[in-house]
């Protein structure tokens, strides 16, 4: 049997020698021999103990005249890890003008349709060692959670992060007249209240996602982070002028029913497509009628994030319906179940309507208030029209889209 030779220079055990020897032995077959050459008698005396603990065996030691000490180690029969050997180095990941995109982590065809529910946290591409403790993930099937552009969406979310402390011209919000501050504060409080639900819904699913779908984790984590920032920015805006507002019980009721939806696709329909979709129009309205640049800026930045969330919802539902048309009934069922719990709600909350009307009017003058009321009426119509359009984009037929839109909560989210 041939013996490989390893000159270890001045290295000692505990000082890097063990790394060099272990790396050499790693690539050898059981029983193959490695002759370690060291000028140190101490190291030569210590190597047998190291080898034995590492599962190898010293089969010979000699001190050639004038030469270094030579310790022959036979590689032990055991792999250091309970996993197959690492594959040969491959071609790696493609770059786009020097950028490494999340969507390029793996080809779409390599995303497995189902993964082991007991899988652990082995990162994408890693060889998982056997014998790790079993986990119990709840979301282990691609079609139940996936969107074809989830990698791109996660990518966009990372690129579009903003800072609710520094990116808003907060000074612009100071000094509004009382009636306007009260209106804005109420609208901001309402939005912040809803953003909580938009945070908790994806957060609950996030911890159930199988780690073998890391793109989904990145996406949902960004979603949760976005919503935390929305809670932050709208809370800050509601408080900056010193005017507290009401958190309405009817809003709580509506949001509570969102948390009752335990199916991922059902929640994506109710939250992303219907709720956040409707909020897109609300945020546009706030942006257009904001009395100050801070409020406007908060609405603009939040709108940019919500657009991503709505896009995900549409993309996921469309994929889900295309893969399994029978899913339609389950999705409609989710909307109907929720609507059944909200039968006592009718119309927008008067407080929210008043706040929006004052914002659109810009004053308490009768003529302008009349115009404000018209703007709010138009907003409701725009919301409905856009909701149907989004539902159609998600793959529902015209009648179902109308039905789902009609079922949607008067709370908007």
Partner 1 sequence: MRRSATELRVGAVAYHPRVVTIWELFLDYFVREGVSIDYILYSNYDRLVEAVLAGDVEIGWNTNTAFVALEQELGSEARILGMRDVDATFATVIVTRRGETFDEVRELAGRRLALGSRDSGHAAILPLHYLGEQGLDAASECELVRFDTDLGKHGDTGDSELRVIQAVARGEADAGALGDATLATFRAGRVPAVADLEVAWRSPTYCHCNFTSLPSLDDGLAERWQRALLAMRYDAPGMRHPMDLEGVKRWLRGDRAGYASLAAAMRNKSPVA
Residues within the interface to partner 1 (CB under 8 A): 12-14, 18, 40-43, 45-46, 48-50, 52-55, 57, 76-79, 82, 130-131
Tell me the chain's radius of gyration from C-alpha atoms.
31
| Encoded tokens for 38 | 């060291």
> Minimum distance from CB of 82 to partner 1 (Å)?
6
Measured from the CB atom, is 61 or 104 closer to partner 1? Answer: 61
**How far is residue 321 from each of residues 67, 143, 392, 410, measured CA to CA in Å?**
75, 10, 12, 26
Smallest gap from Cβ 80 to partner 1, in A, equals: 10
Query: Encoding tokens for residue 266?
Result: 């059902």
Token output for 367: 């003529």
Report the residue number, 120 or 362, with the smaller CB distance to partner 1. Answer: 120
Q: Which is nearer to partner 1, 92 or 131 (CB)?
A: 131
Nearer to partner 1, 130 or 399 (CB): 130
What whole-number distance in Å separates Cα of residue 127 and Cα of residue 169?
49
Residue 60 tokens read as 């010979």
Q: How many CB atoms lie within 10 A of CB 269?
A: 29
**62 vs 288 by CB, closer to partner 1:** 62
Which two structure tokens, joined as six digits, stand for 399?
A: 């009648």
- Cβ of residue 140: shortest distance to partner 1, in angstroms? 21
| Rounded alpha-carbon distances, angstroms, from residue 217 to 72, 119, 138 | 49, 15, 14
Which CB, 80 or 256, lies closer to partner 1?
Answer: 80
Look-up of token digits 């939005």: 191
Q: How far apart are CA 309 and CA 153, in angstroms?
A: 9
Q: Which is nearer to partner 1, 52 or 377 (CB)?
A: 52
Q: How far apart are CA 254 and CA 257, in angstroms?
A: 5
CB 245 within 8 A of CB 189: yes
Q: Long-range contacts: 118-125, Cβ < 8 Å, 24+?
A: 119/210, 119/211, 119/212, 120/211, 121/211, 122/211, 123/214, 124/212, 124/214
Cβ nearer to partner 1, comparing 78 with 179: 78
Q: How far is the CB of 25 from partner 1 (least distance, A)?
A: 14
Residue closer to partner 1 by CB (options 14, 94) is: 14
- Shortest separation between residue 26's beta carbon and partner 1, angstroms: 16
Q: Give the CA dihedral 114, 116, 120, 122, nearest 10 degrees.
A: -60
φ, ψ of residue 368 to 5 degrees: the values are -70, -35
* Residue 76: CB minimum distance to partner 1, A: 7
Q: Least distance to partner 1 from the beta carbon of 299, Å?
A: 54
């Amino acid at each position: 049997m041939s013996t490989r030779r390893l000159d270890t220079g001045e290295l000692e055990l505990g000082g890097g020698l063990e790394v060099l020897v272990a790396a050499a032995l790693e690539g050898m077959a059981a029983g193959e021999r490695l002759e370690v050459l060291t000028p140190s008698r101490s190291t030569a005396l210590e190597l047998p103990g190291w080898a034995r603990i590492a599962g190898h065996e010293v089969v010979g030691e000699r001190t050639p005249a004038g030469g270094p000490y030579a310790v022959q180690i036979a590689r032990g029969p055991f792999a250091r890890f309970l996993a197959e050997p690492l594959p040969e180095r491959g071609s790696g990941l493609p770059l786009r003008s020097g950028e490494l995109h999340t969507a390029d982590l793996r080809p779409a065809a390599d995303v497995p349709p189902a993964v082991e529910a007991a899988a652990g946290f082995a990162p994408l591409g890693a060889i998982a060692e056997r014998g790790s403790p079993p986990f119990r993930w709840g979301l282990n099937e691609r079609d139940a959670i996936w969107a074809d552009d989830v990698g791109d969406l996660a990518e966009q979310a990372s690129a579009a992060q903003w800072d609710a402390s520094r990116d808003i011209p907060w000074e612009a919000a100071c000094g509004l007249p009382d009636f306007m501050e009260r209106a804005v504060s109420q609208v901001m409080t309402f939005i912040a209240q809803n953003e909580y639900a938009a945070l908790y819904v994806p957060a609950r699913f996030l911890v159930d996602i199988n780690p073998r779908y890391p793109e989904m984790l990145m996406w949902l984590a960004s979603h949760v982070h976005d919503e935390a920032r929305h809670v932050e920015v709208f809370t800050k805006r509601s408080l900056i002028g010193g005017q507290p507002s009401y958190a309405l019980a009817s809003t709580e009721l509506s949001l509570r029913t969102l948390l009752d939806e335990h199916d991922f696709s059902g929640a994506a329909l109710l939250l992303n497509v219907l709720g956040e979709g409707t909020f897109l129009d609300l945020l546009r309205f706030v942006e257009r009628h904001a009395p100050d640049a801070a409020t406007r800026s908060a609405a603009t930045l939040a709108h940019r994030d919500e657009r991503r969330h709505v896009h995900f919802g549409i993309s996921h539902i469309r994929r889900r319906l295309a893969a399994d048309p029978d899913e339609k009934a389950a999705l409609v069922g989710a909307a109907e179940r929720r609507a059944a719990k909200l039968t006592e709600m009718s119309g927008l909350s008067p407080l929210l309507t008043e706040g929006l009307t004052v914002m659109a009017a810009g004053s308490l003058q009768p003529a302008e208030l009349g115009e404000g009321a018209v703007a709010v009426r138009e907003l409701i119509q725009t919301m409905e029209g856009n909701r149907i359009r989004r539902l159609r984009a998600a793959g529902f037929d015209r009648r179902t889209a109308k039905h789902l839109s009609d079922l949607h909560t008067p709370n908007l989210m």
